[in-house]
Amino acid sequence: MTGARSGRAYPVDEFLQALTAQLDRAQDALALKVRGTDRPLTWALKDLAIDLRVFIEITEEGRVTWRSAGPGEDAASTVHLSLTSITRPMVEENSFKVERDQDSRGLEQIAQVASLDADDQRKLSWMGVRTIGQLRKLDPIAVEAIAGIPISRLQAALEAASHPAVTAQEVVERAGRTLLAIHGANLADGTAPEVRLAGTPVEVLEFRPARLLVRPGAQHSEGQIEVLTRGRRATGFFHLPEKVEREGHKNGVNGASVNGAGKEAQP
Amino acid sequence: MLPFGELLVELAGLVPERAGSLAEGVALHVSSLHLTLPIESRIGPAGELSASLPRGRLATGFDPPLTAVTLRFEVEQ
């Protein structure tokens, strides 16, 4: 199956995504042609089958790649792809709703703490588990049986996933006041957490597990964010626009709205 | 070579969707189109698939191997 490495090998999953995007654009172009010519009918591509002559390779990381056969490369494999059109309800029924994910952090964010190595993450990805929210829904016993990831590692991952974490901050202008939105995970659990900016407690206006909204004091410009919830502590870093800029915001001046380069707080 | 999607649009555009008219005494509407044809295809550096119809009736050793594509279009209102 493996041929000469004369061309660029491309990951199969990314190729299929690129092909799907091309077919979407083709369908749009067919519809556009009709609208442009006032014809009442249009072609819709229902089924497609294509044979690709490729060399299939597996990288050291376990990714399957393929590259097109060139002139004279008769030993290439033939991959037969069949695609059929699907309707929007079918897509919605079978796809994962990212916006409903309770914790959309990627698995890599807890991998180090949870001792999930790259092999474990790849196995979980094959099972369709890419976020911590999805990981939490798994039964560790079933995962060990199916993917061979030890229960102890999964339990450690779930434990790490339950810790509060600050991932980002955002300046919010509301009714002429500069507020700070703190994004993360497990930041609240039914009761308002204690939040300190640069060591000073601040008022928590809104609290959800993935987002807090707090009111910074007049003295706050930058410093450490501390969130204390359920006896656990998460930290990050905040930076607010200068006072003059804050006034500028109120007057409609286009100031820094999302913390510039420092918006990604380090937990 | 064209992006594969553009080739599909070109192929669909080659076939008229209707012929004749009531004034001419008969009107035909095409309801579906099945195509099976050889193509040259290549996966580009960004993963995009490019394709074209064969360059001629005779293949030379300098041409990439031909592959086959089967398409089914249906006419929709």
Distance CA A138, CA A129 (A): 9
**Higher confidence at residue A98 or residue B46?**
B46
Dihedral sign (CA A194, A195, A200, A206):
negative
Give me the pLDDT at residue A243, please: 58
DSSP readout, A97-123?
Answer: -GGG-S---BTHHHHHHHT--HHHHHH
The larger pLDDT score, comparing residue B13 to residue B50, is at B50
User: CA dist A76 to A53, A66, A71, A79, B68, Å?
Assistant: 6, 10, 11, 9, 15
Model pLDDT for residues A156-198, shown as the tens digit of each residue: 888 888 889 898 999 998 888 889 999 988 899 888 999 999 9
Read off the tokens for B50: 């490019």
How far apart are alpha carbons A204 and A225 in whole angstroms?
13
Output helix, strand, coil percentages for chain A, rounded to the nearest 5. Answer: 35, 30, 35
CB contact under 8 A, B77 and A78: no
Burial tier of A233 (Cβ tally within 10 Å: 0-12, 13-18, 19+): middle
Three-state DSSP class for residue B14: coil
Residue A266 has pLDDT above 60, yes or no: no
Tokens, residue A83: 């695609």
- The pLDDT of residue A228 is 94
Residue A7 has pLDDT above 70, yes or no: no
The band of A255, judged by pLDDT with boundaries at 50, 70 and 90, is very low
Chain A residues touching residue B72 (CB < 8 angstroms):
45-48
Residue contact B41–A74, C-beta within 8 A: no
B12 in reach of chain A (CB within 8 A): yes
Predicted local distance difference test score (pLDDT) of residue A193:
94
Contact B75 A43 (CB under 8 A): yes
Q: Could you report the per-residue pLDDT of A107-154, keeping only the tens digit for each?
A: 877 776 667 787 788 788 777 787 888 888 888 888 888 878 888 888
B55 touches chain A (CB under 8 A): no
At A33 the pLDDT is 63
Contact list, A69 vs chain B (CB under 8 Å): 64-65
Q: What pLDDT does residue A95 have?
A: 59
| A41/B12 CB distance under 8 A | no
The pLDDT assigned to A197 comes to 93
Q: What pLDDT sits at residue B35? A: 92
pLDDT, residue A98, reads 57
**Cβ distance A180 to A265 under 8 Å?**
no
Closest chain A residue to B12 measured between Cα atoms? A43
Are the Cβ atoms of A8 and B45 closer than 8 angstroms?
yes
* Arithmetic mean of pLDDT over chain A: 78
pLDDT tens-digit map of A200-216: 999 999 999 889 999 99
Q: Please state, in angstroms and rounded to a whole number, the distance separating the CA atoms of residues A95 and A20.
A: 15
Say yes or no to pLDDT of A252 above 70. Answer: no
Query: DSSP for A16-66?
Result: HHHHHHHHHHHHHHHHHHHHHHT-S-EEEEEEEEEEEEEEEEE-TTS-EEE
Q: What is the largest CA-CA distance in chain B?
A: 53
Q: Is B61 on the interface with A (CB under 8 A)?
A: yes
Tokens of A3: 């041929």
| Contact criterion met (CB < 8 Å) for A42 and B29 | no
pLDDT of A265 above 50: no
pLDDT tens string A84-120: 877 666 666 665 565 566 777 888 777 766 677 877 8
Best probe of the B interface among A33, A34, A45, by most B CBs < 10 A, is A45
Yes or no, beta carbons of B74 and A41 under 8 Å apart = no
The predicted structure's pLDDT at residue A254: 36
Residues A23 and A229: their CA atoms lie apart, in Å, by: 48
How many other CB atoms are there within 10 angstroms of residue B70's CB atom? Answer: 15
pLDDT, mean of residues A67-77: 89
How many beta-carbon contacts under 8 Å exist across A and B? 114
Q: Is the pLDDT of residue A12 over 90?
A: no
Residue A221: strand, helix, or coil: coil
Residue A260: per-residue pLDDT: 34
Q: Specify the pLDDT at position A96.
A: 59
Residue from the list B62, B72, B73 with its beta carbon closest to the beta carbon of A71? B62
Sign of the C-alpha dihedral, residues A106, A124, A122, A19?
negative
Q: Which of A70-79, A241-250, A252-261, B20-29 has maximum average pLDDT?
A: A70-79
pLDDT at A99: 56
Q: What is the pLDDT of residue A9?
A: 83
Q: Is the pTM of this model over 0.80?
A: no
Q: Is B49 helix (H, G, I), strand (E, B) or coil?
A: strand
Q: What's the burial of B53, exposed, middle or buried (CB within 10 Å: 0-12/13-18/19+)?
A: middle
Least CA distance to B32: which residue of chain A? A43
Among the residue ranges A9-13, A51-55, B34-38, the one predicted with the least confidence is A9-13
The beta-carbon neighbor of A29 closest among B9, B68, B71 is: B9
Q: 3-state DSSP call for residue A164? A: coil
Mean pLDDT of A64-77: 89
DSSP-assigned letter for residue B22: G
CA B15 from centroid of its chain's CA atoms: 10
pLDDT over 60 (residue A44): yes
Task: Give the nearest partner residue to B8 out of A17, A18, A26, using CB atoms.
Answer: A26
